[in-house]
Amino acid sequence: MAQPLDYRTLEAAATWYVQLNAKQPNEAQLQAWQDWLGKNQAHAQAWARVEKLQRQLGNLPADVALPTLAGVRARRRAVLKTLAMLMAVGATGWAVRESTPGQAMMAELRTGKGERRQVRLSDGSQLELNTDSAVDIHFDGEYRQVHLHRGEIMVQTASDPAARPFEVQTAEGRVRALGTRFSVRSDDGRSQVSVLQHAVEIRPVDNPLLMLRLDAGQSAHFDHQRISPAHTAAPGSGAWTQGMLTVIEWRLADFVSELRRYRPGVLRCAGDVADLRLSGAFRIDDTDTILENLSASLPVKVRYLTRYWVSIEPA
């Protein structure tokens, strides 16, 4: 029979939650928490409320809920800031335009975890940002440049009447477009390029004499010195623009680290199950469902300690 819970019990549950959510708890902490839970019925009842609250919050998409809850003033500021650089073009995306003709255009675009965004640049080129990505756009009389600070983008270039070259720069080097559609991803000191149409040229930042031409269907990665040989692009490498993640015979650990890009918080994969293999096409907009379904295809169980602390363990 449920009993009314007193303030101190609820505060204790809240304190446990806040401590466990701080960083990856060690075994001793987890044991202490288990001991507390088992100590009396009220503790378990209080923790059930913690879980209920987390489920409720889990229903909210952060991208919409945050600005809504943050209030009208903050929302209006954010919208004005975005509008200063961007102009909406119907329901499919955003356009970036010079404020006055001929003036250099600069814009910063960011996406949060789990967010994707599409923009149309002033020359008609299309830019799509994947999750957790940051770019600066710099167009002037001579160049069309996109600096990719982190994350992943898909570029569809438009031909430019002024014939200005179109380049994507990462920390590791430059990718020049030769009238084309291609994706660039940059993380951990490595850039990865895949070409879907036509061709690009890659030049590492510290080795300007080195150049590799990649044609449609090819992929390569490079650091600030070296470029890998061109190889066939993995099937589904541009699928993220459709909100899909396609994997074939991936290690579970690699799959989980890919999911981490799309999901805030801690997502852990136990060593015992790291080498299990999986294949499939997954909707990356909904990592909760991916995690829910994981135990149907693999001998694993997914444990939610908190909303942002999830661990995948042997079943």
Binding another protein by CB under 8 A: which of 25, 36, 37, 75?
Answer: 75
Q: Say whether residue 67 binds another protein (CB under 8 A).
A: yes
Q: Say whether residue 307 binds another protein (CB under 8 A).
A: yes
Binding another protein by CB under 8 A: which of 35, 63, 215, 275?
Answer: 63
Span interacting with another protein, options 5-13, 207-215, 228-236, 297-305, rule CB under 8 A: 5-13
Q: Say whether residue 7 binds another protein (CB under 8 A).
A: yes
Residues 159-178 binding another protein (CB under 8 A) are none
Query: CB-wise, 257 or 279, nearer to another protein?
Result: 257
- Tell me the three-class secondary structure of the chain, residue by residue: CCCCCCHHHHHHHHHHHHHHHHCCCCHHHHHHHHHHHHHCHHHHHHHHHHHHHHHHHHCCCHHHHHHHHHCHHHHHHHHHHHHHHEEECHHHCEEECCCCCCCCEEEEEECCCCCCEEEECCCCCEEEECCCCEEEEEECCCCEEEEEEEEEEEEECCCCCCCCCEEEECCCEEEEEEEEEEEEEEECCEEEEEEEEEEEEEEECCCCCCCEEEECCEEEEECCCCECCCEECCCCCCHHHHCEEEEEEEEHHHHHHHHHHHCCCEEEECHHHCCCEEEEEEECCCHHHHHHHHHHHCCEEEEEEECCEEEEEEC
- Written as six digits, the tokens of 16 are 């446990």
Residues 79-108 binding another protein (CB under 8 A) are 79, 82, 91-93
Q: Say whether residue 33 binds another protein (CB under 8 A).
A: no
Binding another protein by CB under 8 A: which of 31, 34, 40, 60?
Answer: 60
Query: CB-wise, 71 or 141, nearer to another protein?
Result: 71
Span interacting with another protein, options 6-14, 160-168, 250-258, 273-281, rule CB under 8 A: 6-14
Q: Say whether residue 25 binds another protein (CB under 8 A).
A: no
Q: Say whether residue 70 binds another protein (CB under 8 A).
A: yes
Q: Say whether residue 199 binds another protein (CB under 8 A).
A: no
Name the residues that contact another protein, by CB under 8 A.
2, 5, 7, 10-11, 13-15, 17-19, 21-23, 45-46, 48-50, 52-53, 56-57, 59-72, 75, 79, 82, 91-93, 112-113, 116-117, 264-265, 307-308
